[in-house]
Structure 1
Amino acid sequence: MQLRLAAIASLSCALLSACTEGSIAEPDNVREGQRVYAKECAACHGASGEGAGPASLGLDVIPPDLTGLKQRNDGYFPREFVRRFVMGRLEKDDPTSPMPDFSSVGLRHVYPDGGADGEVLETDFANLLDYLEAIQE
């Protein structure tokens, strides 16, 4: 009987953990994502992601605070939305927005010599998303 209860408890824990909002990113992935962020995003969104980077002074719009994405989405980090927005897969409210379409421009600061033909490497982008999720307040 105890073995049966233990098995049911273990199965319940496994099922509940599968229902959580996201996975816990590996520290190395988050560090790599921070490196990509520093090279590709910090100029506009600021070193800490709060939207006050030095390049934002010359823009007509204030880049959003990326540390509050989870807070602005009812406690859920909108990973797929961020992925689609940054990769230019969503129509922007303002077509003249200074936010680059990284599917077109690639990671030009991470790979200044055009590594990977200027493409956004999936692992680099996944690491960037892990970093953005890690800095949520």
Structure 2
Amino acid sequence: MRPHPLLALLALAACVEQEPEPSGAALFREHCASCHGPDGRGGGAAAAALDRAPPDLTQISRRNGGTFPRNRVMSIIDGYTRGTHSGRLMPEFGEMDLGPTVIIEDVPGVGTPVPVRLLALADYLESIQH
């Protein structure tokens, strides 16, 4: 008896290795902690060499009236928009591989493709707000 073609396809799909979900905390440790500190409050090892101290990332929501500005944070991280606060001090992480995109829907019915690693990092930053 031959296996059903759909079952064979499902078995093949199960064998395909899935890319693990990125950890926002791990991405932060790898790319951000040297300047922003291991807890996001500033004072990382590389911060002393900078002209201006990196901001305390645990206070983003407080500085924004109690709301975490996810889209603005992602835009600053990837380098799409930069205010005068970061200028050229912060690397543009959008130039590196931020992984495949996922669709997020901030406005009902409007989906925006966002790199999965960028979203994970923004989620992590939101989780450390005080």
Shift of 1:123: 1.4
The structure-2 alpha-carbon separation of the partners of 1:132 and 1:84, relative to structure 1 and needing over 3 Å to count, comes to: same
CA distance in 1 between partners of 2:75 and 2:56 (Å): 18
Q: Does residue 1:132 correspond to 2:125, yes or no? A: yes
Query: Counterpart of 2:70?
Result: 79
CA deviations over 1:68-119 (Å, ceiling 9, x no partner): 0001111100100011111111143168532001112x1xxxxxxxxxxxx1
TM-score, normalising length: structure 2: 0.68
More helix as a share of residues: 1
CA distance in 2 between partners of 1:43 and 1:126 (Å): 20
- How many residues align? The count is 96
SS at match of 1:54: coil
CA deviations over 1:19-72 (Å, ceiling 9, x no partner): xxxxxxxxxx7x810000000000000000001101000000100000000011
CA distance in 1 between partners of 2:42 and 2:70 (Å): 18
Mapping for residues 85-96 of structure 1, pairs under 5 Å:
85-93=76-84
SS at match of 2:46: helix
CA distance in 2 between partners of 1:54 and 1:77 (Å): 26
**5+ residue gaps in structure 1?**
1-28, 107-118
More strand as a share of residues: 2
The sequence identity of aligned pairs, in percent, is: 37
Q: Which has the higher contact order (CA 8 A, sep 6+)?
A: 1
Query: Counterpart of 1:120?
Result: 98
The structure-2 alpha-carbon separation of the partners of 1:95 and 1:49, relative to structure 1 and needing over 3 Å to count, comes to: closer
After superposing on structure 2, the runs of 4+ consecutive aligned residues of structure 1 that deviate more than 6 Å are none
Within the candidate set 53, 69, 78, 2:60 is matched to 69
Mapping for residues 21-100 of structure 1, pairs under 5 Å:
32-93=23-84, 97-100=88-91
* Greater Cα offset, 93-102 or 68-77: 93-102
CA RMSD of aligned residues (A): 2.0
CA distance in 1 between partners of 2:59 and 2:125 (Å): 10
**5+ residue gaps in structure 2?**
1-20, 100-114
